[in-house]
Amino acid sequence: MEDEIVINEFPLIGDQFPFMEVKTTHGKKVLPDDYKGKWLVLFSHPADFTPVCTTEFVAFAKRYSQFKKLNTELLGLSIDQVFSHIKWVEWIEEKLGVTIPFPIIADDMGWVADSLGMLHPAKGTNTVRAVFIIDPKGVIRLILFYPQEIGRNVDEILRAVKALQTSDAQKVALPANWPNNELIKDEGIVPPAEDVKTAGERSKKYDCFDWWFCHKKLTPKKK
């Protein structure tokens, strides 16, 4: 008898984030409605009072003002009760001197994590380290998964938000390691030509390695 194939269904990049009401350390939140008009980084952690998760929360908290400048809010989640979250946040402030300014979802029944694909059976009953970046219209724009034993690079999540906003505003793709790419530095990649005429004109309008790989300087963001 062949093994049964199990298909896990959860929202994907480009999907509308599903409507849900959740308990948090800052009271009830309605997702994605309560964050309409803002970017949202929703991230799960395996459990409160664990070392790697603690380092991540400190890292997010220390960069919170940078996320705010990007019109971005943070929202944590784990399968713990709200009193556990509250006590852990108090411990971080008391012992480490860091205030956690953003809410944490108390998903003690696990239904939020399950519906978002944060539970990976091979990694146990706690959530893996998932990241969802959701845009102001409630559309999922990026998803990352890390195992429990590897802490996330919070600077990369901050970079990803900046990159998504820049791509949207300037209608370009962005290269590896942007804004410090080895080939084109902080420039943007021009969208592909859709016809022969446009392809032929590319090198006259942009800097190009070839007609299919053209790039341009980005317009400085207005202050």
User: Structure tokens of 65?
Assistant: 């003002």
Residue type, 24: T
Relative to beta strand 104-106, strand 72-78 is parallel
Quick one: which of 160, 126, 125 has its CA closest to 144?
160
14-50 burial code (b ≥16 CB/10 A, e <16): eeebeeeebbbbeeebebbebbeeebbbbbbbbebee
Catalytic choice (53, 133, 160, 163)? 53
Which DSSP state fits 181? B
Q: List the helix and strand counts (H, then E) for the chain.
A: 6, 10
- 53 catalytically annotated: yes
178-197 burial code (b ≥16 CB/10 A, e <16): bbeeeebeebbbbeeeeeee
Residues tagged active-site: 53
